[in-house]
Amino acid sequence: MKMTASRGTSYSAPSGFLIVDKPPGITSHDVVQHIRRVLRFRKIGHLGTLDPIGTGVLVLAVGKSTKAVKYFINDDKVYLTTLLLGVATDSQDTDGKIISEAPCPSFPLEEVERLFRQFKGEIQQIPPMVSAKKVHGERLYQLHRKGIEIPREPKTVFIRRIEILNVNLPEITFLVECSKGTYIRTLCSDIGEKLGVGGCMSRLCRLRSGFFCLRDARPLRLLERMSPEQVTSLLLPLGVAMEKRMRGEKS
């Protein structure tokens, strides 16, 4: 299949994986729409949603590579995140409506580290109402917009690594390596609740999804200034991606 570029030349239909450095304030679907306009091509999906507040690695599957999403979507993720203590919101991040506030005492570092260790390994999470999870065919965030809250079954996720990088109360910045489907917002909220003051996520950056890492990502604003041919040249071919995954490459 040939496609027509802006200068009247033709090029083959794009196929492969594009690693985008997502900016904050837009949805993952917004990013897909932007790249569809750049490539003038609609067959594009992604390998896992990032919250609007989130930045970093958002992997797009283009063309024939969309058929291989199932081989990559379950890979572990790595996030850099900041927990804001003393503030709880309905979305479990600072984009949401504040539902409670409490003063944040000066917790001893040893107490904080001991609590964080409790979240390593297999844990249970209750999906937040502000999420894309479907219940009875309707997404939870759609129900939330209608003012409806329903019981959600807890789900099992796995935290492979959780490491505190900086404590500057009321904020704690930490690194998380986790299984697919882990809600980092919920992790922040649960930690805040365990500390007795509540908490929410104030920043989130995905550093890695499987072997796709941030150092190889291109900012969306840069990709939007490129021609279809230039963006197509950045696509990682499906065969190369499959080989990297089989070798278990990580950044």
Q: Which residues are designated catalytic? A: 51
Chain centroid to Cα 61, Å, comes to 15
Determine contact, residues 115/194, Cβ cutoff 8 Å.
Answer: yes
Phi, psi of 109 (to 5 degrees): -55, -40
Give the residue from 130, 175, 133 showing the smallest Cα distance to 153.
Answer: 133
SS3 assignment, position 42: coil
Determine contact, residues 16/65, Cβ cutoff 8 Å.
Answer: yes
Distance CA(207)–CA(79), nearest Å, equals 5
